[in-house]
Amino acid sequence: MATSTRTNGVVFDPEFVLPPMNFKDRLRSIELPFIIAYFTLWILIYLSSRIVLEMAVDEKQSTMLIWAAIASFPLVIYGTLRAGFADKSKWHGFIGYYLMFSLFGIFMTQYMLIQGKLLYDVAVQNEVQRRVQIKEVKRVFSRRSGSNHTAVTFILDGKPITMKARAYAYFYLQDKKMIDINFGRSDMGDYVTNIALSSGDKAHARWLHLKDFVYRLKYIGLIILAMIIGGLIKARYFPAQPGKPPQKMGLWKMTAIIMAILITIVILLYIGLWVYVTFIANYR
């Protein structure tokens, strides 16, 4: 018969065995590692595509959106139920969580599928060096919000091809007539991994794009600053309960409020952009 031992006042029973984890506990034990791994993979693919790809064409975007919705569906359902029951939400709360997890899950998974396949093809396929004639370089987005990307149209084998480049590419391609590129093809679309320009030209283009971006968004920065100052003044001089000291707000709650405000501003900007491009710009 085994006997318990005492060490520094703590009793150790050699016959004690931890109860086995049930399925619910096993799921919760892998939540944090899965979230960290998922976002780490997304960040790695994002950074790699920014470094490797100069231009690309998303020919399978709509198709991959369907596959991304299928792949992320179990995670969306699990996240909805997990957050909804933890928050003791009502039915509309579950709908809100479902929309939120669907928005992030589908589009992040779609991005990883497309960019991951492009990066894989870059690694295993041979590219060709071509000298092409630039037909058009156009900034794509709102006048005031700054360009979201640069649409570059060039002639390859007698046919025009339009690719999506990063926003700052406009500043180093707008005055070019001919460029040398490394061109490749993928199931996801055509891509360019190198444009034969000096690093100084690209660095100068980044600087011009940054100045242009700051100029176009200067009023948004002033609005955000005014909202922050207004919130501080209200909390200091116009408390919700006069006579009582203001309740301190935790760091995570303050961060969540600021992020919610910023996301709301971005959504309003995109809605305004869509209205401008759809109903105004085309008729001017």
pLDDT digits (tens, 9 = 90+) for 117-127: 889 988 888 88
Sign, CA dihedral 189-193-198-199, equals positive
Using DSSP bridges, classify how beta strands 128-142 and 55-56 pair: parallel, antiparallel or unpaired. Answer: unpaired
Confidence tier at 280 by pLDDT (50, 70, 90)? low
Residue pair 84/97 in contact by the 8 Å Cβ criterion: yes
User: Which residue is associated with the tokens 């919130």?
Assistant: 231
Mind listing the pLDDT tens digit for each residue in 31-76? 778 888 888 888 899 888 888 888 888 777 777 888 888 888 888 8
Q: Which of 259 and 97 is assigned the larger pLDDT?
A: 97
3-state secondary structure of 190: strand
Considering only CA atoms, which of 117, 91, 84, 145 is closest in space to residue 276? Answer: 145
Give the tokens for residue 56: 């690309």
Mind listing the pLDDT tens digit for each residue in 135-158? 888 888 654 444 578 888 888 888
Given CATH 2.40.50, say whether it is the number of domain 128-209.
yes
DSSP 35-74: HHHHHHHHHHHHHHHHHH-SEE--TTHHHHHHHHHHHHHH
Q: Which residues contact 132 (CB under 8 A, 6 or more apart)?
A: 154, 155, 156, 178, 179, 180, 181, 183
Mind listing the pLDDT tens digit for each residue in 203-221? 788 787 777 776 766 666 6
**Greatest Cα pair distance in the chain:** 92
For 121-175, the three-class secondary structure string (H helix, E strand, C coil) is HHHHCCCEEEEEEEEEEEEEEECCCEEEEEEEEEEECCEEEEEEECCCHHHHHCC
Residue 284 is predicted with a pLDDT of 46
Q: What's at 167, amino acid-wise?
A: A
Residue pair 186/117 in contact by the 8 Å Cβ criterion: yes
Domains of the chain by residue range = 23-124, 128-209, 217-241+249-283
Residue 254 is predicted with a pLDDT of 61
User: Which residue is associated with the tokens 């025009």?
Assistant: 160
Confidence tier at 84 by pLDDT (50, 70, 90)? confident
CA 109, CA 39: separation in Å to the nearest integer?
10
User: Which residue is associated with the tokens 């460029």?
Assistant: 179
**178 pLDDT more than 80:** yes
CA 217, CA 212: separation in Å to the nearest integer?
9
Q: pLDDT over 90 for what percent of the chain?
A: 0
Residue pair 166/51 in contact by the 8 Å Cβ criterion: no
Give the number of other Cβ atoms within 10 Å of residue 119's Cβ.
20
3-state secondary structure of 194: strand
User: Which residue is associated with the tokens 């939120």?
Assistant: 100
Mean pLDDT over each residue of the chain, to the nearest integer = 75
Average pLDDT over residues 246-272: 62
Q: Which of 30 and 277 is assigned the larger pLDDT?
A: 30
CA 213, CA 89: separation in Å to the nearest integer?
41
Residue pair 154/179 in contact by the 8 Å Cβ criterion: yes
